[in-house]
Amino acid sequence: SQQGEEDPQALSIQEGENATMNCSYKTSINNLQWYRQNSGRGLVHLILIRSNEREKHSGRLRVTLDTSKKSSSLLITASRAADTASYFCATARTGGGNKLTFGTGTQLKVEL
Amino acid sequence: NAGVTQTPKFQVLKTGQSMTLQCAQDMNHEYMSWYRQDPGMGLRLIHYSVGAGITDQGEVPNGYNVSRSTTEDFPLRLLSAAPSQTSVYFCASRPQGSDTQYFGPGTRLTVL
């Protein structure tokens, strides 16, 4: 079963705008990660946030984690056409031996 | 470093045929995993290994076998291919002590 569900399934924005995508999960976690997948390619790790952290930044990425609501959000600021990709959240469940469970993904399209 | 490599990139099989998907990494990572990606379902864990000689089942192991005779290689065997195994297969690795996974470029498999 899918641990993570992402919202929205698809998002289309103009270059320069911010993109926000959300991830909800079901069980207690050790950490939550976000990955990017360009069309026809493998996944690339973007950022990891641990269960005792609430917010983390990396360049134009900002991730928040609310363990009480079992949800996370990924914000991409000042988006670029090169940000066009699918974005997946992945959770490492508590007691899960660091195995990752992936969500269904958000397809982001950034138009010029 | 070449990172995580997968061969072949594309494969078409007939129902009942067997084949092996190859995965290799040159980063000396202890952990390796196989996922399948189907439309609208994210990535699902098939099998994983925490080191040479040690493998375990993931979420969807039926119809697949793995072995890990060396740290570098983690082949995935389809014993008798079925149309339900049509998917994109990704291999990933990570070093002990890290939660970040490194993905290969994937193998697109079609079973007729």
CA B88 to chain centre: 10
Q: Which of A106, A63, A88 is nearest to B35 (CA)?
A: A88
Question: What pLDDT sits at residue A2?
Answer: 45
What are the tens digits of pLDDT across the range B18-55? 999 999 999 999 999 999 999 877 899 999 999 999 99
Mutate to test the interface with B, among A102, A106, A107 (most CBs of B within 10 A): A102
What are the tens digits of pLDDT across the range B86-103? 999 999 999 988 889 999
Lowest mean pLDDT among A3-7, A60-64, A103-107, B14-18: A3-7
Q: Given A2, A42, A99, which is nearest B106 (Cβ)?
A: A42
pLDDT at residue A98 tops 90: no
**Residue A23: in which H helix or E strand, if any?**
strand A19-24
Average pLDDT over residues B75-93: 97
Chain B residues inside the 8 Å CB shell of A31: 99
Chain A residues inside the 8 Å CB shell of B104: 42
CA distance A44 to B105: 10
Q: Given A31, A102, A104, which is nearest B40 (Cβ)?
A: A104
CA distance B90 to B98: 19
